Amino acid sequence: MQIKYSPDVDILVIELTDKSPVESEYLENEGVVVDYDENDEIVGVEIFDWSKRKSLSLPIIGKFLMAQTGGEKVG
C-alpha cells in the first residue's frame, strides 16, 4: 500500500495494491474517485481537496484496510 499527497493539486492518492485500475467511480458529493480492478475489487482511491477534507470518513476504505491488516486499525 502506498499513500501519496500532491500539494500542487491538493489530492491524496491511496494505492491499495499494485494492480492497475480498469474502472473508476467518481463519488461527486464526496470529491472521491474509487478505482477498481477487473474483479471489482478496490485498488485505489483519490481524494480531491484533501487539505479541506482531512476528517473525511470513508467506511468502505476503513473496512478494506482493516481486512488487509487482520482487523487492526490503520493510521
Each residue's pLDDT expressed in tens, for the chain with a length of 75 residues: 899 999 999 999 999 999 999 999 998 888 889 999 999 899 999 999 988 876 666 555 444 444 444 433 333
The per-residue pLDDT for 15 is 94
Burial string for 46-69 (b: 16+ CB within 10 Å, else e) reads bbeebeeeeeeebeebeebbeeee
Tally the residues of the chain.
75
Q: Is the pTM of this model over 0.85?
A: no
DSSP 8-state assignment for residue 71: T
Other C-beta atoms within 10 Å of 12: how many?
19
Q: Quickly tell me which residue has 481537496 as its cell.
A: 49
Q: What was the pLDDT predicted at 64?
A: 46
